Every structure is written in C-alpha cells, then in structure tokens.
Structure 1
Amino acid sequence: MPTARESLLNAALMALAQLPWSGVRMVDVASAAGVSRQTLYNEFGSKDGLARGLARREADTYLHGVDRLLAERTGAADRLVAIAEWTVGEARAKPLLRALLTGCWSERLPVPRPARRGAVLSKAPAQRRADAGLPSPADLVAAVRDRSLAALEKGSRPSRTKEESAELAHRSEQAVRLALSYVIAPVGEGVGPLVRTAVGGAVGTTVSATVSATSPTAADRRRLQSPV
C-alpha cells in the first residue's frame, strides 16, 4: 500500500497529465489522494514543495532504472545500448523526466523553484532531500556515467590503467549524451545502433577491448615501444 506521500505524488502526476501546473490545485490533489489538505501541506509545505517532490522522485526513478538495467544486462556495449534506448523511451513518454534531462521546461510543467533560504525544514526526510536541490541535466548525465563505470569495472581485470578507465568513463557518458540528442531531435531510427558503434561494440568487441585498441594513450605507448 503506498504511503501518503506516494499517493499525493501520484495524484499530482495524474492531475498534471490533464492540466497545466498552474491549473493544478492542492485541494484537488489531496482529495484525489484520499488525504486531508493539511496532510498534503505537512508533507510538502507548499505547492512549490510538491513540485520539488515530483521532480526529485522522477529523477530518482530514472536512476533506479539505470541501476536495474546495469544489473540485468551483461557486456559493456549491451549495457550502454540498453540505457540509451531506455532513456529515449522514458524521456519521450514522461515530460517531467524529459525536462529534467534536457533543461527544457514547458509552461505546462512545474518548474521547481529552490526552497527559500531560512524556510522551515520539512519533517519528512524525502522532502528535505527534495528541498535541498534538484539535479541539473549535467548532474544526471554524470550520475549515469558514474553508475555505468562502476558496473562495467566491477570484476574487470585489475591491470586496467587509469587511461583506460578514463576512456571507459568517456564512452559511458557519450552513450547517454547520444541518447539525449535523440530526445531533443527525434529521428525515425533508434539510438541503439549509433551508440553501439560509438562505444565500440558494433562488431562484437567489448568497450574495454576497443579502449585498449583505439585510445590515443594506448596508441602512443605502442609507437614508443616499436623498434626504430
């Protein structure tokens, strides 16, 4: 059974699907959730607080989905392709997530304003986290990159160099940025083949193998070691 907070967030999201944020009324959200308006204000503090709560949950849900894909899939390229394809699909279906990932907020959406300095902190831990600040598009890209890198390096060979790890991080970030380009400028074909080519898995190689073979640092080392 969902908590009062989850019920309120669900009700607010359902209202947002029908009305612009300016037309969403707190009393209607509370009624749809089956709780009192006082409970709504106790949980979120204000309509701006509710907006921050909605956006924070959307960001967290997205990152949990990234973690799930990284755990379910095997192979570096397959994981990055899955994240890219899923990101495009989720962002197209969820306007609030699309705004968080791109920074493009339409008039229909709640633009979460920062909590006022000196405002009384919410007693709800989840709301205090939301009020502390929301991730920017760059923050979300970095979070996906770091999660991907941690998953891809888990159990990998211990001899991986710093340069190879940096290249792997670059390719992880490249995959999500390619996905966002498809969100902003949709095309008919899917993002998967492009990401697979970009991360080096188009011909069945792993990202780590491609890194070793193509990174400038690795190439420089080979030239230095070659006989004159």
Structure 2
Amino acid sequence: MPAARESLLDAAYTALAGGSWAAVRMVDVATAAGVSRQTLYNEFGGKDGLARALVRREADAYLSGVEQALTQPPGPADPGERLAAAAVWTVRAATENPLVRAVLTGCWEDRLPAPLRLDPAPPRPSRSLRPRAAERAETMAPLPSPVELLGQVRERSVRLLASQWPWGGPGELVRACDTAARLALAYVVAPAPAADVATVVRGALASAALSAPSRRAGALLPRRSPE
C-alpha cells in the first residue's frame, strides 16, 4: 500500500520533528496516518524498520534534490553554476532536515534514531504473526555512510555534467565535482549562510579551471547568475 506507507513515513517525520525518536509511539504514528497499527507493522515490521525507511527516504529525497539542482532550469547552463546550486541545496537540506544532516555527517543527535540500530539484523526464522513484515525489515539494505553518500553525490554530478563540462577532461570534472561536494559538507559541519557556499564553490572552480592544463582555449570560467 504505497499511499499508506508514505502517510506513515510522513506521520513519523512529523512526530520526530516534535520531539525525540525514543518518545515516538507506533500507535500514535498509525493514528496520525489514519491507518491501523497492524498496517504499520505490516509495512515496516517494527519501530526500527520504520526508522530505517524514514532515514532512507530523506536521504533519497536529498539526492533527488541534488539532481534537480544539477539539471534545472532545463537547457544550456553554466555547469559551474549548477555545482554551486547543488552545494547550496546540500547546506539548506542539512539545515532544515536533521536526518539529512545526520546521514551526511555521521553525527546523530540524541533525539534521532540510534544509528547502530539502523543496520538491519541478520535474517532469522520467525514464528511471528507478521513473518513477511519481519523479513522485510531485516533484509533492507544498510543506510549509506557519509563517505558513500558523498560518493553518490559526486557520481551523480559527474554523470549529469559530463556532456557540458568545458574546462578539461574527465579527471578535471571528477575533481571539480568532488571539490564542490566537500565544500558543501564543510558548510554543513560548520554552519554558515547557504548562499556563502556558492561563492566559495565558484572561486574554487575558477581556480581549478585556470590551472587545468587541458582547459580549452577561451573557455569561460564559472560566472555568477543574476540574482
């Protein structure tokens, strides 16, 4: 039941926003979502399964936002500006969503789901009345580590900008995408206005473009879009 699943995740996120995960009760989540507690257990197997699914959804939404920043608006655009936009999105998403911040940095506040409990337990036989739910919860893939998530951001950036990059070969593109992602992460760890990271990313890319030995003659450096 996709609709019920999303409603339950929305209710769980709202409950977490109002307090700590330890205080979140399954019955309250089910009631807020307008479904039975049995439906909640059928979908997630238990509170740990709900936590894993919630964190994974927020991480996936963050990555979707990265892709949107790298591809919008449609049509030709300065790839340096797109990397700057993705960096701004990273800082804003981490500022507004504590789960995104935790997955990006590996620093989990006490009020968030305990990270060690987010790794699925090894499958085991169950005589529960909900064996399918227990199996589903236990076999879910582990959450990405900060290093893995950073790698996913870099890989998406390289893939989406490969046909537009004017300042060198694939190696320069990979380094530029990695630089932009790591600069954004630095601003997540040491908070500052999200707009500031765009200026820093532009400066770093401009320096890299000037020093790239294979830069095309006459290629334009990243420029700031009109505000």
- Structure 1 counterpart SS, 2:13: helix
User: Normalising to structure 2: TM-score of the pair?
Assistant: 0.80
Q: Does 1:93 align with 2:99?
A: no
Cα offsets for 1:185-224 (capped at 9, x unmatched): 12357111101011128xxxxx7xx2xx523x649xxxxx
Q: 1:130–1:9: structure 2 CA closer, same or farther, 3 Å change rule?
A: farther
Question: Are the aligned partners of 2:59 and 2:103 in contact in 1 as well (CA < 8 Å)?
Answer: yes
Q: 2:123–2:139: 8 Å Cα contact kept in structure 1? A: no
Moved over 3 A (4+): 119-124, 127-130
Task: Count residues with an aligned counterpart.
Answer: 203
CA-atom RMSD, angstroms?
Answer: 2.7
CA–CA distance in structure 2, aligned partners of residues 81 and 130 of structure 1: 37
The answer as to whether partners of 1:70 and 1:79 remain within 8 angstroms in 2 is yes
Cα gap change, 1:111/1:140 in structure 2, threshold over 3 Å: closer, same or farther?
Answer: same
Equivalent residue, structure 2, for 1:190: 196
Structure 2 counterpart of 1:116, which letter? A
Give distance in 2, aligned partners of 1:34 and 1:59.
25
Task: Report the counterpart of residue 111 of structure 1 in structure 2.
Answer: 114
Percentage of matched positions with identical amino acids: 50
Deviations 1:45-65 (A, max 9, x none): 011000100011011101111
Shift of 1:80: 0.4
2:205 matched to 1:214?
no
Q: What do the CA deviations read for 1:75-109 (whole angstroms, capped 9, x no partner)?
A: 11101000001110111011111001110000000
Unaligned runs of 5+ in 2: 216-227
Give the distance between the partners of 2:214 and 2:88, measured in 1 at CA. 30
What is the letter of the counterpart of residue 104 of structure 1?
Answer: C
* In structure 1, distance between residues paired with 2:125 and 2:65: 32
Aligned: 1:84 with 2:81 = no
SS state at 1:131 partner: coil
Alignment match, 2:184: 179
SS, match of residue 191 in structure 1: helix
2:44–2:137 CA contact under 8 A, matched in 1:
no
Q: Give the TM-score taking structure 1 as reference length.
A: 0.80
- Alpha-carbon separation, structure 1, partners of 2:106 and 2:206: 29
Indicate conservation of the 8 Å contact 1:52/1:130, yes or no.
no
